[in-house]
Amino acid sequence: MNKVNMTIDGIQLYVPENYTILEAAKEAGISIPTLCFLKDVNEIGCCRMCIVEVEGAKAMPAACVHPVSEGMVVRTHTPRVMEARKVNLDLILSNHNARCQTCSRSMMDCELQALANKLMIEDVVFEGESAKLPLDIGTSIVRDPNKCILCRRCISACKKIQSVGVIDIVGRGFDAHVGSPFGIRLEETPCVNCGQCINYCPVGALKEKDDTAKVWDALYDPDRVVIVQTAPAVRVALGEDFNMPIGEPVTGKMVTALRMLGFDQVFDTDTGADLTIMEEGTELIDRIRGGGRLPMITSCSPGWIKFCEHNYPEYLDNLSTCKSPHQMFGAILKTYYAEKNGIDPEKIFVVSVMPCTAKKFEAARPEMSVNGLADVDAVITTRELASMIYDVGIDFPKLGDSQFDDPFGSATGAGVIFGATGGVMEAALRTVADILTGQSLDNFEYEDIRGLEGIKITTVEVADLKLRAAVAHGLGNARKIMDAVRAGEHFDFIEIMACPGGCVNGGGQPLQLSEVRSWKDVRAERAKGVYREDMKSFIRKSYKNPAIKKLYKEYLGMAGGSRSHELLHTHYKARDNYGKSPLPE
């Protein structure tokens, strides 16, 4: 890579010639403010907050898109630059619905507010006419176009990263806003509810549908038995909302906090993941041995499921029929657990704490029920749980550690790695390999399918089987692997996660400012926490979980049996790309 000499604010630098001014400044420890910029996602220079002066140039270029060159001299904070940034920010603020006290992003994670403080904006000079557009409230996502600043980060996430493309700029001039085709609600489009648009939005224009009030009502109802389950990825992200390091596991503190909130039982969705592996592993073996539909594709990610229903309906029979772990667990809680403990299933209220906004949509699907009762009654995101903890004044970092409740508190390392891309496949292979060989293999680390490469393809040899497997994360990569399947490329087993990096980077995880997300791989840091949890687990294979063994012995019978299919398996359906949601209004 060729390099160039340049100077920024008097500091001489020798940087790669493909750098932008912003990247060069970052390397020199010089902070240039940004708003629309998000590295590798949205690099369009539209907000003009990162403008700088370049010696010899009349116009002030945007540092996030302007390339460096030999001998370039840059100044980042001249009077002209500082005044122009303030004017640009004033213009953005003039048309912003600044109801900050009631905004979901008001607590330190609003990038617009942070920038206004940084530039010492004390009053809005330009009094624009505030937009008055209707809210778009869906099952999973709420859009408030009145708070939108037209940075286009959500558009890039939806179109460039996820290849869904259901939002874009609508209208021109002062009428321009982010919207869906033909002005229809987001839920009436092929939106998959992944929530990546929320992760990338710098303000409060996008957020999850808040279901905390529903949970509080259940907790305060003396006739309810309120059971909470927490997904594996939650424990490596929740601490971030309390200024703890990214990726630090906070499992014990989380359990303590949930008990303090008043939940009757605190269980681990990792147990549901172990159960999923038993069913999914058996299904994979049956399909291969019995000449079933291949490739078998994982079904744990509801965003991916809906994406498949819209875009690849001819492959719905390739999806595993297994429900996702939290839905399986909910079904078990309202049947086996209720029966064992003499509880009326109608009094059980199951709450799932998930890293995922799409789980809200999933839980509302009519297919996710047994005996007329929904498997899961409410889904709240990691962010919503943090909000509930804040609401009651719990000092989270100072909490002691507690253990999950029995009989579903002792999950395995295989269950916890579901939170990272490649984890579902690795967990399945750990069990499938032992079943096929009839022995507990010592070598069960599948390094080839770990990591953040968008698509990973490997061949796994187990006993007399040779499986060609693929792992894809992010729906843009899912589209590539499915197009390859459509073109005739052979695979036996495919894992797909809707969110880049898997559940650790789900649309319901703690928000990180662009200045963090652009320069640090949040996905990798959280995934490290997941694998640390796996390594310290006493049991690391799903079929060895004592609670799962007991469940099959006392209630389910055999994996893949009739009772398992009744409670733990489901089906999916093709969706019109512009048809209305099948969910009730």
> What's the average model confidence in pLDDT over 203-208?
95
Q: Do domains 3-91 and 125-208 have the same CATH topology?
A: no
Q: Are 78 and 86 in contact (CB under 8 A)?
A: no
CATH number 3.40.50.1780 given to 212-568 = yes
CATH architecture, domain 3-91? Roll (3.10)
Confidence tier at 175 by pLDDT (50, 70, 90): confident
Q: Which among 130, 23, 131 is positioned nearest to 67, based on CA atoms?
A: 23
Residue 581 has pLDDT above 60, yes or no: no
pLDDT at 582: 42
Confidence tier at 480 by pLDDT (50, 70, 90): very high
Residue 583 has pLDDT above 50, yes or no: no
Residue 486 has pLDDT above 70, yes or no: yes
Burial class (CB in 10 A: 0-12, 13-18, 19+), 241: buried
| Phi, psi of 141, rounded to the nearest 5 degrees | -125, 140
Higher pLDDT, 570 or 438: 570
Confidence tier at 407 by pLDDT (50, 70, 90): confident
DSSP assigned state of 342: T
Catalytic positions are: 280, 283, 300, 320, 359, 362, 367, 503
Q: Helices 325-332 and 269-290 meet at what angle, rounded to 10?
A: 110
Q: What is the mean pLDDT of the chain?
A: 92
Question: From CA 512, how far away is CA 383, in angstroms rounded?
Answer: 12
3-state SS, one letter per residue, for 18-81? CCEHHHHHHHCCCCCCCCCCECCCECCCCCCCCECEECCCCCCCECCCCECCCCEEEECCCHHH
Strands (E), 440-509: 455-462, 465-473, 493-497
CATH number 3.30.70.20 given to 125-208 = yes
The listed range with the strongest mean pLDDT (108-122, 363-377, 455-469) is 363-377
Q: What are the boundaries of each domain within the chain? A: 3-91, 125-208, 212-568
Higher pLDDT, 544 or 577: 544
Q: Write the pLDDT tens digit of every residue in 23-36.
A: 999 999 999 999 99
Higher pLDDT, 496 or 431: 496
Q: Percent of the chain scored above 90 by pLDDT?
A: 78
Q: Are 194 and 357 in contact (CB under 8 A)?
A: yes
What Cα–Cα distance (Å) separates residue 40 from each residue in 37, 64, 168, 480, 503? 9, 11, 18, 19, 20
**DSSP bridge pairs for 352:** 229, 379
> What's the average model confidence in pLDDT over 427-447?
83
Q: Write the pLDDT tens digit of every residue in 525-575.
A: 999 999 999 888 888 888 888 999 999 999 999 999 999 999 999 999 999
Our measurement of the distance from residue 416's CA atom to the centroid of its chain's CA atoms, rounded to an integer in Å, reads 15
Give the type of residue at 292. Answer: G
Q: Write the pLDDT tens digit of every residue in 75-125.
A: 999 999 999 999 999 988 888 887 888 888 876 689 998 888 888 887 777
